[in-house]
Amino acid sequence: MTLSQDHLPIKAPLSGASYSAVELAPENDRVWMLEQRELPDHERYLEMTDVATIEAGIRDMVVRGAPAIGIAAAYGMVLAAGACRQGDQAYLRALQDAGALLKGARPTAVNLAWAIDEMLALAAKHASADPASRVEQMASRARDIHRADVEACRTMGKLGAERVPDGATILTHCNAGALATGGYGTALGVIRAAHEAGKKVKVLADETRPYLQGARLTSWELHRDGIPVEVITDNMAAHFFQRGEISLAVVGSDRIARNGDVANKIGTYGVACLARLHDRPFYVAAPWSTVDMKCASGEAIPIEQRASREVTVIAGKSFAPDGVNARYPGFDVTPARLVSAIFTERGAVDPVCEDSMQRLAR
Ligand code: MRU
């Protein structure tokens, strides 16, 4: 079932914004996802009532962005709890199966597994309670995860904004905004906070081939908020760095290893190299749920490989000869030494190294 904006079921999204990547219905029996593949043309919500549909929504990128897919998965676990009338072991098994399905949807963003594990920990505690109370508790925990993410974005946004000079031109890659989180955004949270503090900032948004998160989503969000934004194709960034037009770069992340290596949308590493070459800061903003202290370095981060056709086919037309495949690693890893600082709700990781990460982990 699909809902247009007129039917927008979320009168009060948890973030307080006028749109939301994902919300749980007040009755705890449905999830609404903003159909991000149709932005900026249509603002349309999909209604989902079971875990399999939530999993498909995450895998097919109706919802995307590490924190947002974690929240969507948490809401999926609420639906799984609602679908199970049995108690104890049968309930736990049903939820573990749902969790395993959801975890397999996208491998790089650690927020997904983190949110599911949080929900499973709660399920283990209340497996023998009555079904209605189990759903209530799961819904309350999932909404807490959502609210905490918005709060974290605001905190890291303020922290990051302190490093943004008045008059800055900021390069960002992909979409690490309200659409990619519970609301407000990580990298775009830093930009929003700088704007709200009265700084005159403008943004260059990398188009972000092939899914065009920058052209379609980042520009949509910022334009809506009245923050000046221009889209550039990914291969223009070097030119604008060379001309001295870029003051700093800020991006989000899907997983940060213990040594400070950062996985983010494919193309991010190139931005970091350019920033270093041109002596400009390269910042990362991410909630602590994106940090994977079990992962020693970027080499251990699983990189999602997506389908060839997502690169070769644009708006239904193929741009490569039949029989030629494309490569599509969804993410790359920026080594810690290229990252000037990481902003989290726990504070800034600066310098970016294992000692600083351990200090905030405690
Ligand atoms: O493939 P996507 O669109 O899910 O990739 C998203 C990103 O790379 C974001 O920068 C990252 O998830 C951080 S979102 C706050």
- pLDDT tens digits for 11-54? 678 888 889 999 999 999 999 999 999 999 999 999 999 999 99
The whole-model pTM stands at: 0.96
Q: Which of 149, 206, 254, 261 is catalytic?
A: 254
Interatomic CA distance for residues 141 and 136, integer angstroms? 9
Which ligand 1 atom minimizes the distance to the CA of 264? 8
In this prediction, residue 311 carries a pLDDT of: 97
CA 182 to ligand 1 center in whole angstroms: 13
Assess whether 130 carries a catalytic annotation: no
- For residue 70 and ligand 1, the question of a CB distance below 6 A is answered with no
- For residue 174 and ligand 1, the question of a CB distance below 6 A is answered with yes
Cβ neighbours of residue 310 closer than 8 Å, sequence gap 6 or more? 210, 211, 328
- pLDDT tens digits for 179-206? 999 999 999 999 999 999 999 999 999 9
- pLDDT tens digits for 71-112? 999 999 999 999 998 878 999 999 999 999 999 999 999 999
Which ligand 1 atom minimizes the distance to the CA of 186? 15
| Ligand 1 pocket, mutate which of 174, 207, 216, 217 (most atoms under 8 A from CB) | 174
